[in-house]
Structure 1
Amino acid sequence: MKKQNIILSILLILFVSPMIFTSCSKNLDVNQDPNNPTDVPENLILPALLSNFSYEVNGGYPTRIAALWTKHLAGGIAGNHEGNYLITAQDVNNFWTNYSYPDVMNNAFVLKNKATANGNPNYSAIAKIILAWNLSMTTDVFGDIPYTDAFKGTEGVFKAKYDTQESIYTSIQALLDEAITEAASTNNVLKVGAEDFVYQGDMKKWTALAHTLKARFHLRLSNAPGKTASAQAKLALDEIAKGAITLATQPTFKYYAKTGAENPWFQYAIDGKWALTTRPSQYYINKLLASNDPRIAFQARKVVAGTGVDPANVGKYIGVTNEAPSNSIGNYSAIGSFYSTNDAALYWLVYPEVEFIKAEAEFLVANKTVNATVTAAYNKAVKASMDFYGIAATDADTYLNNNALKANANLAYAQIMDQKYIANFLMFEAYNDFRRTGLPALPINNEMYPGQVKLDQPPRINQIPVRFPYPSNELLYNSANVPSDLSGDPTKSIIVPVWWNGK
């Protein structure tokens, strides 16, 4: 996968700085490789950690696949592919073996330990937040994963045991609690500054993000074995009350209009580094058009004139399906510029999710009934999604009036989750919400639905996958620890729910 220039620049700093700062004071140690420093300070580890988490994980493979499986996007190419549920043990190797574990979690582990030893709790706090977040995304797609043994290579542990997903979530919450405490410390030898590409060392913002994540993860377990939805919802509301991100403090990562440093969605779907065929799905485009949703202008682009483009399609929103289109791919809408220009910021988590956490949690605390509190929370959440894009209040009010919360409990829950699904466009969280609630009620990819043209390519399996298969590297080199209750056949293993799915 192509790295960003910004990451390469950071790595060059890591390689060069030891020589720069020691050459004047002593001769070069011929037994030490100057290009592979063994002791790197916290302020040089942090930017690389944040860059890798943003590009490789939050804007990387798990999020891209989730967007296909939740029908935010589709892959307009022939044959079986991820869009119609072809995913293999080899396909997930890079995410597990190259990105999630070494580039993010191991470096977060190193940073937190170094920061603790050096008396820099603020750096440790950020490292723990990223570690907890990355752990959640990894366990959410695989289920049981290595954690307690995962970073013990220096101790001779090369075949890590797997921790249960339930214990992983306990560890995630503990990491976030520790991070909140450490973020409040003013006793730091080294102050976090501009090398923090997300919040520039503002620890109050990191604290608010940690509380937001804790709320998200409490709600994640709403249907987990041994848990009750109302109790988990109460825990989520309690965390939000302690602090949460706002429209002004959403965690974003900046990208640049320079080759290799562009926004991940631009690289993946717009400029051809990866593909030009990954575009908003026909299902999703038709859904927004049917309700006159003003957010469509930000989430998708209108078709523009060009070679092979039917003039009748120009100026329209047209989605693709997970098969080779009958026309040139230019006849279909691309991902909206808001998300996919070369210098667009990548949103790690959007403020509207906070309001939808409140809306769903209030509904669950009320034992899945609609009252004035639930209705007010729903209205605020929908408006927050409109405000996120800067949509005029009059347009937002018109939309909300046409989509007022129903009194019927089942319909109301479907509305809350449907609106959250739209607000979380291109967010990994939409996949988690779908799995734990079954909402919105998505058709399987390439299944017939009203307004869809007849398709020739059948889906790979007869349901939306609910997990990733374990990577082939683990099956080959750590097979004794890989959970034995899952089939080695991905078409069978990817339909087995993870622990918190509660099914």
Structure 2
Amino acid sequence: MKSLSKQIQLFSIISTVFVLASCTKDFETLNTDPVKVTSVAPGSLLAPAQFDGMWLITKRAHRLNNELMQYTVETGVLNDFARYEFRENEFDPIWSTLYVKANDMNEMYKIAEQRNDANNMAAALVMKAWFISNLTDMFGDIPYTEAFKGRDELYYPKFDTQQSIYTSILADLKRANDLFNENKPFDSSDLIYGSDAVKWKKFANSMRLRLLVRVSNKSEMNAPAEIAEMFTNPTKYPLIASNDDEAMMKYTGVKPFINLFFEMSAAEFSGSRRMGKPLMDLMNTTVDGRRFRYATKNTPGAYVGIPSGYNEQETIAFADNNGLKTSTLATTLKDDAYPFPILTWAEVNFLLAEAALKGWITADAQSYYNKGVEASWKQWKCTWDGTAGTTYLNRPTVRFTGSTANMERLISQKYIAMFFSGFEAWYDYRRTGYPVLPVGPAAKNNGILPTRFEYPLITKATNKANYDAAAARIGGDNLRTKVWWQN
């Protein structure tokens, strides 16, 4: 078995060459010795990292996040995630893939730096921050400062504290903002913004806003002041300001650049899954116009979810609903060109609404809350104009009045908006406790919705000394240990 750094070095070279040179004819071709990665044009490394990293997060969120957050409930015998049970190697693909992609971005940065290629340096910093933030938010303390030194034969990296990792990636995102320059060349295979430096700058700052809000419970991070600095200087720190700005993987529908759920069997994608009761109940009580984008109707024509955390027989009975059936994932989510988000205008508005509600910025929380809802409806291509939007925002179960009691309502609306947005709903739940999700009677893990993922088997086996030190430091390598930013 190889250590983490050695695996990253090997898999990174293999995956970069394979994706660039064989499977994705639309990406730039690698025309040099595959081992001499430093001779590659830095921008050519961007598309494979975006595509593979996005697919890993989206697929695993469909498998794990959607079950934990009760967007869906698996009724089959193979997956017990709704009952908080996981196979021992369940988290290994997340760990290995995101580290490989982060390493690719680390290499891209170094190559771009050698060429004084500011825009590709900045893009590499943003993508690496996205991959690493997901890793540390899933696992807690992880290898970071020594994780990408396989070329230096450092094969057994130490685990860094989550606080130090956040300090580093937040600094990287701030630096990326300074590096992006629309007046300089930006030659890349960018699949998100088509090498638009202005939109990339907005993405970098919006990612920084997301992560600052995530660590806002930790006074040592000074997040409220950092957020206020960004908010009061929009010229220097522009944020995503429309649906056109959001970081979205807008697939062409032409291979290889397709929504890979399209190639997944209907049974694997949705056949044994039913929509979760909390989501459907929340959307039904608000008469939410996004329901048809998320779910199918049952036999009588209603949107009906099932409760989570029951045994297999009970779950199957809930799904049958006395023959009336229950809702499944909307079939359009499987279309070959269906887009999935990385960071949306809706999310930015909800983040600013929270900042205003808590007094970190001088702004109207209700206005940002309303814009967040509107942005989500428009993201999902639902009718908002006319009376639709006004009617929805004025419903008693939706209306925002500005009091601190509205934190639950804010995060509940954000929960609806974050459907198929990676693991963001799980991160928000662990940070805020919202939305309130019932724990079923068959739930394991002491009835506690998992607060982190366990370290992968290969790390435990090949980097044991550093693993043991990290596990002891965080309070135990289990599903109940809180990560550093949780209260």
Counterparts of 2:291 and 2:17 in 1: how far apart (Å)? 33
Instruction: Tell me what 2:301 maps to.
Output: 315
Kindly provide the amino acid, as one letter, of the partner of residue 383 in structure 2: I
Q: Of 21, 33, 39, which residue of structure 2 is paired with 1:11?
A: 21
Counterparts of 2:102 and 2:410 in 1: how far apart (Å)? 33
3-state SS of 1:499 partner: coil
Check if 1:90 corresponds to 2:89.
Answer: yes
Scaled by the length of structure 1, the TM-score of the pair is 0.81
Counterparts of 2:462 and 2:388 in 1: how far apart (Å)? 56
Shift of residue 84, structure 1, vs aligned partner: 1.7
Contact 2:19 2:48 survives alignment (8 Å): no
Contact 1:11 1:48 survives alignment (8 Å): no
Instruction: Tell me what 2:483 maps to.
Output: 498
3-state SS of 2:364 partner: helix
Instruction: Tell me what 1:298 maps to.
Output: 293
Contact 1:111 1:123 survives alignment (8 Å): yes
| RMSD of aligned residue pairs (Cα, Å) | 3.3
Counterparts of 1:37 and 1:133 in 2: how far apart (Å)? 26
Contact 2:159 2:470 survives alignment (8 Å): no
Shift of residue 265, structure 1, vs aligned partner: 4.4
Instruction: Tell me what 1:343 maps to.
Output: 337
Counterparts of 2:326 and 2:409 in 1: how far apart (Å)? 28
Larger radius of gyration: 1
3-state SS of 1:500 partner: coil
Aligned CA distance change for structure 1 residues 8 and 398 (closer, same or farther; 3 Å) = farther
Q: Answer with 418-427 or 150-159: which moved more.
A: 418-427
3-state SS of 1:501 partner: coil
Instruction: Tell me what 2:248 maps to.
Output: 252
Shift of residue 356, structure 1, vs aligned partner: 0.7
Q: Of 116, 120, 130, which residue of structure 2 is paired with 1:119?
A: 116
Contact 2:393 2:399 survives alignment (8 Å): yes
Counterparts of 2:40 and 2:128 in 1: how far apart (Å)? 19
> CA offsets, 1:350-386, max 9 Å, x none?
211111111110011179xxx9822333223222323
Q: Structure 2 matches for 1:448-463, cutoff 5 A?
A: 457-459=442-444, 461-463=446-448
Aligned CA distance change for structure 1 residues 423 and 464 (closer, same or farther; 3 Å) = same
Number of equivalent positions: 453
Scaled by the length of structure 2, the TM-score of the pair is 0.83
Q: Structure 2 matches for 1:214-363, cutoff 5 A?
A: 214-224=208-218, 226=220, 230-231=224-225, 234=228, 237-238=231-232, 242-245=237-240, 246-255=242-251, 257=253, 262-267=258-263, 271-272=266-267, 276-303=271-298, 313-322=299-308, 323=312, 324-326=315-317, 331-337=325-331, 339-363=333-357
Kindly provide the amino acid, as one letter, of the partner of residue 382 in structure 2: G
Kindly provide the amino acid, as one letter, of the partner of residue 131 in structure 1: K
Counterparts of 1:398 and 1:121 in 2: how far apart (Å)? 47
Q: Answer with 6-15 or 215-224: which moved more.
A: 6-15
Instruction: Tell me what 2:200 maps to.
Output: 206
Aligned CA distance change for structure 1 residues 15 and 425 (closer, same or farther; 3 Å) = closer
Counterparts of 1:366 and 1:17 in 2: how far apart (Å)? 47
3-state SS of 2:447 partner: coil
Shift of residue 475, structure 1, vs aligned partner: 0.6
Shift of residue 187, structure 1, vs aligned partner: 4.4
Counterparts of 1:240 and 1:7 in 2: how far apart (Å)? 40
Counterparts of 2:363 and 2:198 in 1: how far apart (Å)? 32
Kindly provide the amino acid, as one letter, of the partner of residue 117 in structure 2: N
Shift of residue 468, structure 1, vs aligned partner: 0.4
> CA offsets, 1:253-278, max 9 Å, x none?
1335467754244456x634566323
Instruction: Tell me what 2:134 maps to.
Output: 137
Counterparts of 1:217 and 1:86 in 2: how far apart (Å)? 28
Instruction: Tell me what 1:390 maps to.
Output: 382
Contact 1:414 1:439 survives alignment (8 Å): yes
Aligned CA distance change for structure 1 residues 239 and 134 (closer, same or farther; 3 Å) = farther
**What fraction of aligned residue pairs are identical, expressed as a percent?**
25
Instruction: Tell me what 2:74 maps to.
Output: 75
Counterparts of 2:113 and 2:132 in 1: how far apart (Å)? 20
Q: Answer with 326-335 or 107-116: which moved more.
A: 326-335
> CA offsets, 1:153-172, max 9 Å, x none?
11110000111100101111
3-state SS of 1:252 partner: strand
Aligned CA distance change for structure 1 residues 363 and 106 (closer, same or farther; 3 Å) = same
Name structure 1 gaps, 5 residues minimum: 1-5, 20-33, 304-312, 448-456
3-state SS of 1:315 partner: coil
> CA offsets, 1:366-418, max 9 Å, x none?
79xxx9822333223222323333323312211111121246532x1111111
Instruction: Tell me what 1:399 maps to.
Output: 392
> CA offsets, 1:173-229, max 9 Å, x none?
1111221222127444xx425x21111111000000001011111111121254577
3-state SS of 1:289 partner: helix
Check if 1:409 corresponds to 2:404.
Answer: yes
Shift of residue 335, structure 1, vs aligned partner: 2.1
Contact 1:233 1:365 survives alignment (8 Å): no
Counterparts of 2:141 and 2:477 in 1: how far apart (Å)? 17
Counterparts of 2:21 and 2:287 in 1: how far apart (Å)? 47
Aligned CA distance change for structure 1 residues 414 and 7 (closer, same or farther; 3 Å) = farther
Counterparts of 1:15 and 1:358 in 2: how far apart (Å)? 38
Counterparts of 2:360 and 2:247 in 1: how far apart (Å)? 31
Aligned CA distance change for structure 1 residues 463 and 9 (closer, same or farther; 3 Å) = closer
